[in-house]
Amino acid sequence: MSTALPKGLFISFEGIDGAGKSSHIEALAQAFRDQGRVVTLTREPGGTPLAEKLRALMLHDAMDPLTEALIAFAARRDHLVQVIEPALARGEVVISDRFTDATFAYQGAGRGFSWEQLSALERMAQTGTALQAGQAPDFMREPDMTLWFDLPAEVAAERLATARVPDRFEAQPGEFFARVAQGYAERARTAPQRFVRIDAHASRHAVWQQITQAVVRKGWLAIMVGSKP
């Protein structure tokens, strides 16, 4: 008799550059592994050979906001088809460093591109990719939970000042990141059932506690005593 696969989970980490989300992604992945789950760690833009090539273009080549948005969604479609949906169909936990909310925050709020047009692209790129039996053809894939690292833009700028050589997004002025932060806040407002706000200005340990509490409340992990990133 075959054993049914556990339900796949899709968790995204979001936040402006410098918010500190990357330092907690591997820790959460390990927490799931420690409790017997298979984890796929990935990122956007990127996650597949094609999407990584598109990522390099977005980060380093000058282009207008529409071109950025089209590249982001092209990379996302390939990422969904090649990596995310197969992993979810196998019952894995998919943890992605950014997903569609980043496009609304960066190309939408940051660059000033139309959210209405982004919504149309979102529907186009993320519909009809699901591999699980029983999913309707018009099902649009979204994360089951989005952990939003909320940090004031000026604090993020201070952190980035000592980082590596910046890409074309990291090199943007503070006003750009303030708009991006507002974009994330708007996405959170419109999807409160999916977003979990993380106070990214707190200590590293306090941030980790916020993350684990959010996942434990969902029943996806048992209480983790003494775990830390």
Which residues are known binding-site members?
15-22
Count of other CB atoms within 10 angstroms of residue 37: 17
Structure tokens at 69: 């948005």
Contacts 24+ apart (CB under 8 A), 124-133: 124/73, 125/73, 125/74, 125/76, 125/77, 125/80, 126/76, 126/77, 126/80, 126/100, 129/77, 129/80, 129/81, 129/84, 129/85, 130/85, 130/88, 131/85, 131/86, 131/88, 131/89, 132/8, 132/88, 132/89
Binding-site residues for ATP sit at 15-22
Q: Which of 106, 80, 129 is nearest to 180 (CA)?
A: 106
Contact 40, 88 (CB under 8 A): no
Using CA atoms, how far apart are residues 229 and 173, in angstroms rounded to an integer?
A: 31
